[in-house]
Chain A
Amino acid sequence: MSKMAEKIKNFVKKTLFIDFIKGLHVTLHYNLSRSITIRYPDEEKWIPYSRFRGRHTLNLTPDGRELCVACELCSKACPTDCITVIPMEDDTGRGIADRVARVWKVDLVRCLFCGYCEDACPTRAVRLGREYELASTDLSCTKMERVELLRPQSIPESVTGGVVAKARYVRGEGKIKVEADLGRTRKMRW
């Protein structure tokens, strides 16, 4: 008896287009809600979470000394051999001990951004930061040196991330940047 009732119910549903109307209702709901597109690069930019593995940085202690002691553990941990570390003795107090890196190079073309160097570092000097716009038109900016890596990144560690920030598309000589304004952020509409 209930199978008959099922069949009648299904038939009535088909004649009254119930499933079509339900589908149309879902689509209308999407049509009337805001879209989730991030308007990169003209208007907005995505600020990743802290755990994001972007371009490397070399960190400093709060009083300005280099944390890297050139132990070469990151170089040995790297699966693609893209990190080159050459230590040197130093008494000027540049670093936290008497050993600092003379040369600390990373080849961004070979890097997998796996984070093994970050995990291997005993002093938490090497960190993968949140810079992800690494595309370039020639190979001159693919090998990063120590001095460049010591500069503070555009997104400090204190910012939680996971938001979309208002950004400007800035064209300089030879370089283009998307500068994010970390003060005006909005949550991502999933």
Chain B
Amino acid sequence: MTVIIMVVKVGVVAMILFGLPLPLTWLERKVAGHIQARLGPFRVGPHGVLQPFADMIKLLLKEDIVPDKADKFLFKIAPLIAMVPAFLVFVAIPIGDKWTIPFINKDITFYVSDMNVGVIYILAIAGLGIYGMIFGGWASNSKYALLGGLRSSAQMISYEVALSFAAVGVVMMSNSLSLVDIVKSQSGGFWNWNFFYLPVGPVWFFIFLIAASAEINRIPFDLPEDEGTLSSGFHTEYSGMRFAFFMLAEYVAMVTVSVLAVVFYLGGWNPPVDIPYIPDSILPFYGIGWFVAKSVVFIYLFMWVRFTLPRYRYDQLMTIGWKILIPVCLGAILVTGVMRI
């Protein structure tokens, strides 16, 4: 019985995560348009809502080109390696709390599994995604793709350190590696959230956001895939559905990082102010509503930052990763340690 529930939960999570990038591409283009004082996609369906389907059909019907001297196995497997870890991370992320199904009187929890080393699991799986880019760049047998892949992997390794430090900060503030415990330790009201653990809470939060933007190759850190200097970096040689997988991987990673920011720093499913008048039967859904609202704010924040800032040059990127973020992390660890005495 538990196996069936687990399979159903995993299925639901996978379905949602497969379906999410399509509305997200639409939303990104709409936000891009409105920030640039124009309308986004407008003609394909009312206000352009069918645009992602048009894009999907186009990508499906494109010719699948595998370069001649490319390493065929690595070339074909690279998009999968880029995409699957972004989905795997969601196994550990809690969306809501326990709920009793009314007529069967069975308890289900709104997370797939409550690992007691959830944070370590997430960091390890997120590191796997880098391989997809390296394989994509190397196997394409093209100098632009190779350079893009190398730059991208160097960037991601550099910011892994800062990301891990931010996770360590959360662990120090919440006293547990399990994500469910981290969320539960932030209950009670917004002053208990890890973001408001003054003075280091906001510092960790911003370190996490910066490191996460660099991890998912998002502006201002998206030099590996900029169309100007590198003719689209490690996915230059990919066409059709393989390219779509890379894009899917990027959007799912963006969702992952937003959700992680909410879980680590903004209290997960806890509402800002506890209202005691919510009946127990719908309390978990109330929490899920808050969770979704907070994640949407972060997703919008990523898109907003994308269309505001220019991108960093490569040496500036490396400078930030090593010479600025890591000393700040170390200082914040010191202060957090002192505060936890």
B partners with A? yes
Which residues does A use to contact B, with CB under 8 Å? 17, 20, 23-24, 26-28, 30-31, 33, 35-37, 39
- Of chain A, the residue at the smallest CB distance from B306 is A27
A23 interface neighbour in B36, B39, B309, Cβ under 8 Å:
B309
Contact with A along B289-319 (1 / 0, CB 8 A): 0000000000000001101110000000000
Chain A neighbourhood of B35, CB < 8 A: 27, 30-31
Chain A-chain B contacts (Cβ-Cβ < 8 Å), number: 34
Shortest B232–chain A CB gap in Å is 25
Chain A neighbourhood of B305, CB < 8 A: 24
B340 at the interface (CB under 8 A from A): no
- Of chain A, the residue at the smallest CB distance from B206 is A17
Which residues does B use to contact A, with CB under 8 Å? 31, 33-39, 42, 206, 304-305, 307-309
A33 in contact with B37 (CB, 8 Å):
yes
- Of chain A, the residue at the smallest CB distance from B43 is A42
Shortest B327–chain A CB gap in Å is 12
A36 interface neighbour in B37, B304, B309, Cβ under 8 Å:
B37
B304 in contact with A35 (CB, 8 Å):
no
B309 in contact with A30 (CB, 8 Å):
no
- Of chain B, the residue at the smallest CB distance from A26 is B308
CA–CA, A30 and B31, complex, Å = 10
A31 in contact with B304 (CB, 8 Å):
yes
B38 in contact with A35 (CB, 8 Å):
yes
B309 in contact with A37 (CB, 8 Å):
no
- Of chain A, the residue at the smallest CB distance from B305 is A24
CA–CA, A31 and B308, complex, Å = 11
Closest 5 CB pairs of A and B: A27-B308, A31-B35, A23-B308, A37-B39, A37-B38
Shortest B51–chain A CB gap in Å is 16
CA–CA, A34 and B309, complex, Å = 21
Chain A neighbourhood of B33, CB < 8 A: 35
B308 in contact with A24 (CB, 8 Å):
yes
CA–CA, A30 and B39, complex, Å = 12
Known: A24-B308, A30-B34, A31-B34. 4 other contacts (CB 8 A): A26-B308, A33-B37, A35-B34, A35-B38
CA–CA, A24 and B308, complex, Å = 6
Chain A neighbourhood of B304, CB < 8 A: 24, 27-28, 31
CA–CA, A20 and B309, complex, Å = 8
Chain A neighbourhood of B206, CB < 8 A: 17
User: A35 and B31 in contact (CB under 8 A), knowing A23-B309, A28-B304?
Assistant: no
CA–CA, A26 and B305, complex, Å = 11
Chain A neighbourhood of B39, CB < 8 A: 35, 37, 39
B307 in contact with A27 (CB, 8 Å):
yes
User: A36 and B31 in contact (CB under 8 A), knowing A24-B304, A31-B304?
Assistant: no
